[in-house]
Structure 1
Amino acid sequence: MNAVERFLKYVSYDTQSDEHSQATPTTEKQKVLGAALAEEMALLGLSNPHMDEHGYVYGWLPATPGCEGIPCVGLIAHMDTSPSAPGGPVKPRVILYGGGDIVLNQDLGIIMKAEDFESLSKYVGQELIVTDGTTLLGADDKAGVAEILSAVEYLIAHPEIPHGRIAIGFTPDEEVGQGADHFDVEGFGAAVAYTVDGGELGELEYENFNAASAKITVRGLNIHPGSAKNKMKNALLMAIELVNMLPPAETPAHTEGYEGFYHLCDMTGDETTAALSLIIRDHDRQSFESRKAYLTRTVDYLNQKYGADTVALELKDSYYNMREKIEPHMYLIHRARAAMEAAGVIPLEVPIRGGTDGARLSFMGLPCPNLCTGGLNFHGVREYIPTDALLKMTQVLVNLVTA
C-alpha cells in the first residue's frame, strides 16, 4: 500500500481521545487502531512490533549491513483525533479540485468556501481528500502514521538503500495533551527523533508555544433577585469581570506568529458557582511567566474586592518551547531541509502556534523537531489533505533516514 491507500484505511477507525476521561488511554477505541498497526508492522517484518499496556505502539527497522553504528533515529506520530469535532464514522472522498467552493454535503448544505479557505487556491488541479462535512478527516495525525509506515515499507522493499536503525512510535492521547505521558524514551532507543504531525507540505518546526492551563472556580452568594440589593454576589458576573480584565487584543483571534495569548475555552455556571477553563500560550519564556503572573494578580484582586476565597485558581504548565532543546542539535533541521529539497519540497520553517508530542519528548531527553504531514484545516469538518502531499512526505522520510 502507498500512503494514500493507508490513510484511507486508517481514517475508518474512530480514535477520538477524551479530555474528560481518567483512563489510559483516554478511550479504549484508540487501542483498536493500535493493535491493527502492530499487526501491520509485524507483517512488514519490523523487529518486536507491539502495543504496550498504555496503548503505545512500537517497532524497529534494523540497520542495513554496515550501518549498524549509525545512531538510531525515531519517527513518531499520534493515533488519536481531536475531540473538537465528531470523530466518526469518517466518510472520506477523493476529488479532483478544479477551483472554487467544494460542496462537502449537498443534503446538509455544508460547503468549504474558497473565500474562507484561501489555502485551496494552491491546490487547483490536484487530488484532495475531503470529508462529507459531518466529521473531521483525521489527517491529524493518521497522515503521519500512513507516511511513516509507507516510508518503512519502501525501505524494506529497497534493501540497497543504506540506513541506520529506525525506531517507530505511535502514541495515543496527543490531542488531549497526554501523548508523551507514558512514552518509553529509554526503551525506544533513539538518539533523536522527528514527530510527523505538522500541517501544510513543507512545514518544518522546532519552535512551539510555552503552554499552561488554568482552571478557575468563582464562588458567589445567591439571593432572591427581589431582595438581592447589596447582598448578591453573582458568580457568573464575577467570572465575566475576570475575563474582561484580560487584555482584549491578546486572544487567538487577534494574534499570529510569535504573539502569545489568553484563550477562554469554556465557561459554565450559575449565580452560585461558575467555572472557567483557559489556556495561556507564549513562545517567549519570560513573557509566558509574565502572563501567568498577570492572571494570578487578577485573581488576587478579585479576592480582595469580593472577599477571600471567592476565586480559586489552579494553574498548571503543559509543555515548553522545544527550541532550547533543539538548538544544540541543529543538524536535525539541516537534515530535514535537505530531505525535503531532495523530494522537491520547499522547506518552510515556521513556529508552531500550539504544541506536539515532540515538545514534551524534547524535554524528556529525546530531541524531537516536527515535520509536516501535508494536511490542512485540522480539528474541523472542513479538514483536507492533497494526495500528493501524502506521497511527497513518504519520500521526504525515506530521504531523511538514508545514511
Structure 2
Amino acid sequence: MDNVIDLEVTSLALSSLTDFLYRQPVTMIATATVRNAGATVSPDTHFQFLLARNGAEAVELTPPQSLPSLQPNESRSFSATVAITQAGQLILSATLPNPVGQVEIIDNNLLTRTINAVDPNQVHLRKAAPSIVADGSSIVYTLSVETPVTLTNVVITDTIPLGASYLQGGSRIGRVVQWEVPGLLPDGAAPVFTFSVSAGNVAINKDYGLLVDGQTYISGQDTLATLIEGKSYPIDIKKSALGVTLPQSPLTYTLTIANRSAITLTDFLITDTIPPGANYITGGLRTGDVLNWTLPRISPYSQMQATFVVTTSVPLTNSNYRVSAEGGALSALGAEAIITVIGDETPIDPGQGGSVIITDALNAKVTQLLTIEIPANAVSKSITLAYASVPPPDSWLASPALGFTDLVFHLQAIYMPLIFRE
C-alpha cells in the first residue's frame, strides 16, 4: 500500500496535574507531537484534542487545526488551550481534509492521557470540638482533610467564634486562623490542624474551609456548638395561653424565645404543634398539624415572640414545641404543658354596697369593701371599676371644689378549692 500514511503520536501532555478538582472549567495546555512513521510524505492533516468518556460520545476540546505535510520520519509538535470539566481520556484525533484514493491514517501507537476530574464534594474537611468543657478550660478545634486526589497549594482557614478569645494554633490574621500546606496526598493519614480558644457560656464555630490552587474553595459543612459547664443554656423557649376559654372563642398561644448568651445567635427555627381538637385560624407556616417560624437572629440577652390562634370547643393540651438555632447546633424543648379548659359565660351579680359617696374634705380617706361572688366555671373577660363626680344638692358654685388626688382600686381574688369528705 504505497499510499498508506502512518502518523504516530509520540507524546501527549497536559500543563497541569491529571488529577484535579473542578467546580468550573479548569484551563490547561494540551501538547502533542506527531511523527510521520511512513515512507511517503504525509498530506496536510487536521488534528484536534478530544476527551473520550466511557460509554458516551467524546467531547471536542478544541476545533480542528491544520498540521502541514511531514516528510518521512519528520516530527512536529503543536499545542492548544483546553477547558476540562469532567473525567475521561485526553486523545488526539486526526482527519484528512480531502482524502484521495486509498490514502488513510494508520495510528497503532496512539497515546492517551487519563484525566481524573474530581467533584470537590468528594474532598471532605472534617472538624471536631467538645460539646461541653469545664468553666475556665480551653476549647480545642481539630480539622483534618480527606481527599481522593492529590491537592496542591492548600490553604485551610477557620474563624475564631464570636465572643471567644484566641489562645494558640495556626497563623492568626484578625479573626481568621489559617494553615498553608504545599500538598496533601490521597489515601494517606490525614494531617491534623488544631487551634484553641476560651469562651463565656457558648462558642459557635461554622465559618471554615480550604482553598486549593487558589481557585477551588471547599467550605465546611457542620456548625459546632460548645457549652461551658455551669453556665446557663444559650437558648430557651416558653409558652403561654389562657387557662380558660369560651367555646369557639379565639385562643392565642404565645411562644417566647430567648437568647441568654453574650453573642448574637442566628438561624432560629421554632416548631409547634396544633393541639388535638383545636381549629387552626392563623399564625406561623403550617404543614399539616405542624407550625414553623424562622428568625434570622436574636441579639444577646434578648427575646422575640411568635403567636398562633385557634378555636376550640373541647379542652386543649399543648406540650410539643421546641426551638433550634445555629443550624440545629443548639436546641431547646418546651418544658411546660399548656392546658386550656372550656368555661361558661356566666353573668356576675355585683352584689350590694357597691357605691361609695365621698362628701368630706379633700383630705378624707374612704375605704369601701365590695364583695363579688364569681362561680367556679365562669369566664370573666373584664372587670370594670368606674367612678363619677356627684353634684351637691345646691349648685357647684355654692360648694367647695371636689376632686380626687389619689384614687386606688384594690382587687383581691382568693382561690378556695373544694375539699370532699366522706
> Normalising to structure 1: TM-score of the pair?
0.19
Higher RCO, 1 vs 2 (CA within 8 Å, ≥6 residues apart):
1
> Normalising to structure 2: TM-score of the pair?
0.19
Considering fraction of residues, name the structure with more helix.
1
